[in-house]
Amino acid sequence: MKMLTRRVGIGLLSILISGSAGCGYRVQSSVRNLPAGIRSLGIPTFKNSTTQYRIEQRFTSALLREFAARTRAPVNSSATGVDAVLLGEIRQVFSNPVTYANDAFGSAFVVTVQIAAKLVRTGDSAVLWENSDFLFTERYVLNRNVKDFFSEEGPALDRLSQDFAASLAGTILSR
């Protein structure tokens, strides 16, 4: 009986140790370098060609955080004094209902953002990478209770900006 108790204890201990080994997990190859010859990156505020207030701030901030976390190179919000500049434009933002409640009122929506971005070497203005048609979507639910109403579009745009930043950084850093 003592032997069985000991085996169960050892089994539980090994499960706890292996489970805690995953805490703080980070893919080893997630920290990468910028394209050859680029030792610093500037990400000035994207141009906002929409009527959505401050959406360019959300996306630019997400990009600054993502590149700072995934590269060893200095990343800042300036277009001067850097080897390359990541330029972008928020071209369109729109929300569409995807499900309806009983009274034909939208209860779930999808917000879609179209973005153009390009990486330009500052020394000779060469375009190192460009995509003029990024399209990202994020679903959100509209709370119909007026007393508890909170627009979920803002948090959906925050999630979308983080997804966009991760995708763009991954694309540029894998070159």
Nearest to 56 by CA among 87, 90, 95: 90
The CATH-assigned architecture of domain 33-173 is 2-Layer Sandwich (3.30)
Secondary structure class of 158 (helix, strand, coil): helix
Q: Say whether pLDDT at 104 is over 90.
A: no
Say how many C-beta atoms besides its own lie within 10 A of residue 113's C-beta: 23
Sign of the four-CA dihedral 140, 171, 72, 58? negative
pTM over 0.85: no
- The pLDDT of residue 60 is 98
Per-residue pLDDT of 58-89, as tens digits, reads 999 999 999 999 998 999 999 999 999 999 99
Per-residue pLDDT of 122-175, as tens digits, reads 999 999 999 999 999 999 887 666 566 557 888 899 999 999 999 999 999 987
Class of residue 130 by CB neighbours under 10 A (exposed 0-12, middle 13-18, buried 19+): exposed
151: Cα separation from own chain's centroid: 21
Say how many C-beta atoms besides its own lie within 10 A of residue 133's C-beta: 9
Secondary structure class of 2 (helix, strand, coil): helix
Both tokens of residue 163? 């997804």
Q: Report residue 21's pLDDT band, with 50, 70 and 90 as the boundaries.
A: very low
